[in-house]
Amino acid sequence: MKYIDEFRDGALARDLAAAIAREVRSDRRYHLMEFCGGHTHAISRYGLCDLLPANVRMIHGPGCPVCVLPVGRIDNAIALAQRPGLILCTYADTMRVPASKGLSLLQAKARGCDIRMVYSSADAVRIAREHPQRDVVFFAIGFETTTPPTAVAIRDAQAEGLANFSVFCNHVLTPAAISNILESKEVREYGTVPLDGFIGPAHVSTVIGSQPYEYFAEEYQRPVVIAGFEPLDVMQAILMLVRQLNEGRAEVENEFTRAVTRDGNVRAKSLVADIFELRRTFEWRGLGEVPYSALRIRERYRAFDAEARYGIVYRSVPDHKACECGAILRGVKTPAQCKVFGTACTPDHPLGSCMVSAEGACAAHYTYGRFKDAAIAPVAAAAD
């Protein structure tokens, strides 16, 4: 596959691994957080940690859109779906996130709710167009990557006068989450979560550009390297971070130049600004209430705002007691340190949201990496 295989080349990976091994200093450790679930997935799927020196540790950040969605918001969505005649549309992974009373959207669907998995916000608009007699709500989640498509859906619905379409907006913002982690007591006061640098988001950065990260590099003196989601991108970013740390630099560097510019996608940003505005606060699973960290639909598009239309009232719901998703999302714990990991909580029966999406730290570790915890005898090579 052109433009893909080039970034998954095993020989180049070994060269990069050798370069990282040469570059790391043996007298220090490197704690690097990959913010995005896309990076977490790539690291697990390609077994990247096997190629890294022992003193380079990757910490999985909160950039998995499904993982940071609080239970209360899923409860709201289920309540919407239970309204007679209403069609709720959402992205696939959202279907499986556990909500209150042992429900999830998938189980609500099995109990008769009309919930449809869509690949694009445009599909939700199409469904609304095809069912003029029924209310259609798009349950919109995600970071800056999925926000512009939601904006387009609202713009198109308004242009068409699609009166039966609305959006339950849950879009969140990456920079606010990074600030929250850097401001957390574990990082700033106690130092219990050493965080030396960040691998910056790939797709989010194609929209917002590299400029927003300059503040973190400057204010918190942490290097940021924006990287693509292919495994070689991640390896290259790790090398760049190690170099910055060794040289005492804290800059924003862009490994993903094939898609990210300093200013990002100006058109997308302007459309988003036209349709959405900042919420004063929004609850994140794992991070709690984070000020100015999410978007809501502006007053002038109120007709398409499901929260206004259906009078949705948000109620915070605590996570399952044994669930450590919060600590895992903040980098305080690793998945294997959670008591219910792999026992009561598995991808088939997730208790916490990190076990739901393939991009979640727990699901990625369970699916691709848990044999490393089991310490089975190493095997030389597969087949000859």
Partner 1 sequence: MAGRDDTLRPVDFRNGRVDMTHGGGGRAMAQLIDELFVHAFDNEWLRQANDNAVFAVPGGRMVMATDSHVVSPLFFPGGDIGCLSVHGTINDVAMAGATPLYLAAGFILEEGYPLADLKRIVGSMAAAAADARVPVVTGDTKVVEQGNGDGVFITTTGVGVVPAGVDIRGDRARPGDRILVSGALGDHGVAIMSLRENLSFETTLRSDTAALHGLVATMVAAVPDLHCLRDPTRGGLATTLNELARQSGCGMVIAEERIPVHAEVRAACEFLGLDPLYVANEGKLVAICADADAQRLLAAMRAHPLGVDAAIIGEVIEDPHHFVQMDTSFGGRRVVDWLTGEQLPRIC
Under the rule (CB under 8 A), what is the footprint of partner 1?
1, 4, 8-10, 13-14, 17, 44-51, 96, 106, 118-120, 123, 231, 347-348, 363, 366-371, 374, 376-377, 379, 381-383
Distance CA 108, CA 76 (A): 12
Residue 229 φ then ψ, to 5°: -90, 0
Q: Considering beta carbons, is residue 63 or 209 the nearer one to partner 1? A: 63
CA distances from 122 to 61, 89, 92, 161, 381 (A): 29, 11, 15, 15, 46
- Least CB distance to partner 1 at residue 370 (A): 6
- Least CB distance to partner 1 at residue 89 (A): 10
DSSP states of 265-331: -HHHHHHHHHHEEE-SEEEETTTEEEET-BEEE-GGGGGGBHHHHTT------PPPTT--HHHHHTT
Neighbour-count burial for 195-218, b at 16+ CB within 10 Å, e otherwise: bbbbbbbbbbbbbbbbebbeebbe
| 177 CB burial (10 A radius; 0-12, 13-18, 19+) | buried
Q: Considering beta carbons, is residue 10 or 291 the nearer one to partner 1? A: 10
- Least CB distance to partner 1 at residue 224 (A): 24
Length of the chain: 384
Closest CA to 317 of 88, 97, 63, 92: 97
- Least CB distance to partner 1 at residue 383 (A): 5
Q: Considering beta carbons, is residue 45 or 298 the nearer one to partner 1? A: 45
Q: Considering beta carbons, is residue 313 or 374 the nearer one to partner 1? A: 374
Distance CA 83, CA 78 (A): 9
The residue type at 214:
E
Distance CA 13, CA 179 (A): 32
Closest CA to 283 of 320, 323, 324, 326: 326
- Least CB distance to partner 1 at residue 9 (A): 8
- Least CB distance to partner 1 at residue 315 (A): 27
Q: Considering beta carbons, is residue 61 or 360 the nearer one to partner 1? A: 360
Q: Considering beta carbons, is residue 110 or 266 the nearer one to partner 1? A: 110
- Least CB distance to partner 1 at residue 96 (A): 6
H or E element that contains 187: helix 185-188
- Least CB distance to partner 1 at residue 238 (A): 14
Q: Considering beta carbons, is residue 8 or 333 the nearer one to partner 1? A: 8
Q: Considering beta carbons, is residue 299 or 348 the nearer one to partner 1? A: 348
